[in-house]
Amino acid sequence: MKTYDREYYRRWYRDPDTRIATRDGLARKVRLAVAAAEFMLARPIESVLDVGCGEGAWRAPLLKLRPTAKYLGIETSDYVLARYGESRNIRRGTFGKLGSLKLPTFDLIVCADVVQYIPDADLRRGLREIRRLASGVVYIETFAAEDSMEGDRDGWIDRPARTIARLFDDAGLTQCGFYCWIDDRKIRNANRFEVGTPTS
């Protein structure tokens, strides 16, 4: 059975020979997600939910950009919760059962390198709850079968791009950029602001 222990995170996130991301690459992702959320909100973000956060890698670069933002991570790993739960504000939870956590809304919701491991039923439930929780932008990395992605393939669920699009559409989430999604009702409201009276 797959275990998200210290060795797992060392192999996939720190070992230069096998890691799937670099610190600079992560920082670019964070800047992209923050910029998208702040564009839609027309203000700095104040709260971030990181679902399937692992060791909380997004936390430091997020707080470097927005030091006063409140960060909450959701994770299942016993190792992560024991080592970083309190210091990095990480709570136990799963994507499919987000609704049971009774969370408030967030300006930015992050779900990086997670969706491809989530069964369809949990994915549907989690996406609907994420739509409810999102007051701004949702950054969810979605890798389609056509992408031929490499990395940790243990438990990976290959979904065609059309299936991914349907799952997000069914949840009421509309794509608005690289891995960025928004409640389609908020898209309509945001577009209304774009068509304003010109100012001199």
The domain limits of the chain are: 16-193
pTM of the entire predicted model: 0.86
**Phi, psi for residue 48 in degrees, rounded to 5:** -135, 130
SS3 content of the chain, % helix, strand, coil (to 5): 45, 20, 40
Q: What is the pLDDT of residue 156?
A: 72
- What is the three-class DSSP state of 12? helix
Quick: pLDDT tens for 35-64: 999 999 999 999 999 999 999 999 999 999
Q: What is the pLDDT of residue 20?
A: 73
Query: Tell me, what DSSP letter sits at residue 177?
Result: E
Q: Average pLDDT, stretch 133-152?
A: 82
C-beta atoms surrounding 190 within 10 Å: 17
Contacts of 63 (CB under 8 A, 6+ apart): 69, 71
Q: What is the pLDDT of residue 189?
A: 55
- What is the three-class DSSP state of 56? coil
Q: Average pLDDT, stretch 87-92?
A: 98
How far is C-alpha 47 from the chain's CA centre? 13
Interstrand relation of 180-183 and 106-111 (parallel, antiparallel or unpaired): unpaired
What's the whole-number average pLDDT of the chain? Answer: 87
Distances in Å between the Cα of 54 and the Cα atoms of 10, 74, 79, 124, 184 are 11, 8, 10, 21, 29
* In the predicted structure, residue 198 carries a pLDDT above the cut 50: no
Nearest to 190 by CA among 43, 24, 27, 5: 43
Q: What is the pLDDT of residue 150?
A: 65
Question: Which CATH architecture describes the domain 16-193?
Answer: 3-Layer(aba) Sandwich (3.40)
Residues in a beta bridge with 173: 183
**What is d(CA 99, CA 166) in angstroms, rounded to the nearest whole number?**
21
Q: What is the pLDDT of residue 188?
A: 58
How many CA atoms lie within 13 Å of 44's alpha carbon, on the beta-carbon side? 9
* In the predicted structure, residue 66 carries a pLDDT above the cut 90: yes
Q: Average pLDDT, stretch 165-185?
A: 91
Do 154 and 129 meet the contact criterion of CB atoms below 8 Å apart? no
**Phi, psi for residue 91 in degrees, rounded to 5:** -110, 155
Name the pLDDT band for 154 (thresholds 50, 70, 90).
Answer: low
